[in-house]
Every structure is written in structure tokens, then in C-alpha cells.
Structure 1
Amino acid sequence: MSEEILINITPPETRVAVIENGVVQEIIIERTARRGLVGNIYKGKVCRVLPGMQAAFVDIGLERAAFLHASDIFTGDRQDSQQITELVREGGEIVVQVVKDPLGSKGARLTTNISIPSRYMVLVPQMQNIGVSQKIEDDTERARLRQILSAFAEESDIPGGFIARTAAEGAGEEALRYDMQYLQRLWRSIQERAAEARAVTVLHEDLPLGLRALRDLVGPEVERVRIDSRSTWEKARLFAHKFLPDSDAQIEYYPGERPIFDLYGVEDEIQKALRRTVELKSGGHLVIDQTEAMTTIDV
């Protein structure tokens, strides 16, 4: 199976296409103006503590202070009944992660229980256990994943706990180990920034789509990744050199005058998918109608 990943960069949006044996399998689009904050990690400063609400407001550099409830503050002894005044103090520095974007007049919601995703798993640095997604129902597969993760974490002395995501089902041992090493390097770099940075600083932003595609989509079956933006290509090479060294040679810059999506027929596939009637491989089709109250799909 031959697989390629195409990354098209324009000012308003980034588009990624997965091509398998010459056929478009997946298209992902991220618009620049609509990037969220969920997953971002900050070194913030507690600006107000409210004992009556068991919460605190934290300045992380946004327009409004973010909200941190006592139940979202990780404590090693697991005493969830601790008072907010025992956990944080006004003016104190704290490392937090956004779990909910700001909405209307409300600020972002925070947690100190950091979690960092990769393609196959999630690293939870404060925890020490190994978990498997509940969506993986096969007992044999769950046991296999637990054995691989536990063995590698023990032999590598990797701090933190790991949760195997649904995508890990059927993944090879080498790919899983690769993911754990990537998360380990990333968490160490975040810790280094946190130790050096002043309060109200971004320590880690969830990757833009171009780099997320490298993290989540590149595997042994991918022959090459083609990027039509030189600046994004340079960032991708640096990212791969640091976190995905085995994929460094697969990343290519596409300087051609013809748009890369036209070259592979991706634009035609996008236009077909956006039509009112969408043809299916089985011979059937979908009819999509949008009204003010609802969107209907007739199969």
C-alpha cells in the first residue's frame, strides 16, 4: 500500500489530504481564524481566590481571566475535599491546561491535570497507571496493549501514565514505543520551558494542522509528505528532526507552479463532496439538503 500526505497552506486555511494508491482517502481543513485554545498549556498567575465558590481565577494572558475549580487541581494525595485556599494562593504561579474555550462573557476553563495526546496514546504526567480506551472492547487486544505499554514504560523509566487511544487498536509494538518516546521528549521540553519562563506565558500550544498531520498521520506506510509552503516545510523538518527523526527524510517541499491539490485531483474530489448529490462507491448516493431549521441527508 502506497500512501502520501499533501499539505496545502494558504493565509485563511490549511488543508491536508491523505492519498492512498492515488485515491483521496481523507481531507482535513483548519481555518486560521477559528483555532481553539483547548489543549494549550500555560504558566499562569492566580489573580483571585474565591473560597465560597471553591475556585480561583488565573491570568493566562487572555482577554478574560480563566476559571480553575478546586476539583480540577491535581493533588498527589488525592484529597479531593481540600479547600481552594489550601491549594492555591493569590499571586502564585501555576501550570495549567485549557479544557474549555472561552464562551461569551465566560473565560476559559482550566485544569492542572495535564494530558498530552499523540497519535496512539495520551500522556498524563501526574499519573503512574496504564490505561486503555474503553472503545477497544476486545479483551485480548486490551491485554496486549497494556503489556506493551507497561513493559516499555518500565524499561525506559518514563515518568507519567499512558492511556492507549482507540487508534492504538491493532498498532504494532514499534509504533507504540515510538509514540511513547515522542511524548516523553515533548513533556521534557514543556518542563524546561516552565522552569525558565515567567508567569502568564504559553508553554505549549496544540500543534497547527500541518504539524498535527505529521504527528497523527505519518507512519511506516507513508512514503512521503509534500508541503507547498517553504516556511511550513522548514518548521516540519525541525519538528520531525526533534520528535520524529525516522520521518525526517520523507518530508518534501513542493515548489511547483501548479497547485498541489490540482496535481493530485484533490480539488475535484472536494467539489464532488460539496455537491447536493454525493455519489458512493457502492453505486448509491447521498442527497444533502440544508434548511434554516435542519440539515437532512437522504441515502
Structure 2
Amino acid sequence: MTSVTYDWRLTHDLDAFLALAGDFLRSRPAQHTVALTVTDGLHRRGMSRYGESAPVFGALERDGVVRAAFFRTPPYRLNLTPLDERGAQALAALLADAEVEVPGVSADTDTVEAFAGAWGRRTGARSVLFRGERLYRLGELSAPEPAPTGRPRVADEGDRDLLARWYAEFAGAIGEGAHRRDPGAWADDRISYGGITLWEDPEGTPVAMAGATPPVAGQLRIGPVYTPAHLRGRGYAGAVTAEVSRAAAASGVQEVLLFTDLANPTSNGLYRRIGYRPVSDFASYDFTYDG
């Protein structure tokens, strides 16, 4: 039987990583949407976009072909593309030996369980499920009816403070408050490419927002979608998500994607009604270390 060699290559150099793994990431744009959009953001806005600590990247070569990749932008979790059990074991050993800090991991459900198990055996870390998610792809868009009163508008510099406040509220609501980006920097980034659409009531007051990442490799991802708590239940989230989805589809990308929290049946039902269809399930685990 021929042995299989799992050769992981680590780097802090984004250009070197993309030269090695870029074609692999673009080969499955839906499954690799997070890696594509994060590396694009680092390229556009600089390597300190997510924090001051240097990001780390890695690619798995087997028989001279890239088969998997990962990145970590501290303080966030390790993010993996699909990976088999032996590849997960090899990566866990490499990261542990290199003393790379790994506070958690995000990946498709099979991969995240394989790596969490391997990391626990290697380091003694315990895995705690943070969130399960489902990736959706837009099929035929169907705007919700009846539509709420009001209109959509792309956010601009005059909305910066509002966007920063809503982003902080959104991050807190989904449990990511401790790891969120600087709200003002996040707002500046989104405004720079028209990445947030607001839904305004008839008086011109913003009542909800939906965002979209820049297109990369023929895909973009909708999010975040946020309505302040006191304004929910009025159809604003569905209306603004449908508008952003319509604009995204009209831009010519091949795939319009979004993630939902599996624990939130309301949002999953809403996006299905709009026209989104399931692609695959993902999960995020946090690691705790005794002592």
C-alpha cells in the first residue's frame, strides 16, 4: 500500500499563501467563501484589519497538489477548509509543535469535529460548541410579501456612527462581542465599497441593515443582517435582505451566499422563503485549557 504524505506549509505571508493556495480556494467558491473574503479583506485593507497580531496561513499539499487550507486572524478562531481525519491530525501536531495559539476552530461539521478531536488529544484542550451554522445559496429570489413601508438606501459616510453602533449590538447579540472588530473601522470598511444597505421607514429613519462582502471568485456573502430589538417582527429584515440579494444577483456574481444560525428557526425560515437553499452545515468550537 502506498503511504500518503500530509505536507502542511505554514506562513505569515499573505501573498505567498495565495500564490500557493489561491487556485484551490477559487476552485470551490461556496465552500471556501470565508477564506476567500477574509484574505481579500486583508489584501484590500492591510494585515492589521482584524487585529494587531500577525495572521497565520497554511496549505496542505499532497502529491504536489493543494488539498486543504487554513487561516487564523487573531483573536479569531482557526478556520479550516474541508479536511480528512489524517490531515486534521497532522495539522494539530504541526500547530502544537509550532506553539500556534488556537482558541477555537470553525469549519464544516465533519472537519471541525476531526480537528477538535485531534487538537484535544494533542493538547488536552476541551471543546465547547459555540454555534452551528448552515450555509445557503440563493436560488430564485422571491421578495417577501407584503413588503413593509419604506425604502432601501445604500449607507454612506453620514451613517458611520449608526453602522458602528448596530455592528456592536449585532456582535453582542450573537455572542461575538469579545472578538468583534473595532466598530468604527468596520463601518469605514463597509462604507468604502457600498457594503451596507439600510431599510428606511417612510420618514427616512433607518430601521434595519443588511450587508454584503465584496465579490471574490464569482461569489459574495450576505451579512450581517440586523434589526434593533424594538423594531423586529415588522418585515424589515426580510425586505432589506431581499434588496441586497437582488443587487448582488444583478451584479453578475455566480453565487450569492449567506450563513444562518441553526438555533434560530426564524431566520432559517425567512431565508428559505426569500429563495435561499441549503449547501452544507458548519460549526464553531471554542477550546478551554485546564491549568
Whose helix fraction is larger, Structure 1's or Structure 2's? 2
Normalising by structure 1, what TM-score? 0.25
Identify which of structures 1 and 2 has the higher relative contact order when contacts are C-alpha pairs closer than 8 Å and 6+ apart.
2
Q: Which is higher, the Rg of structure 1 or of structure 2?
A: 1
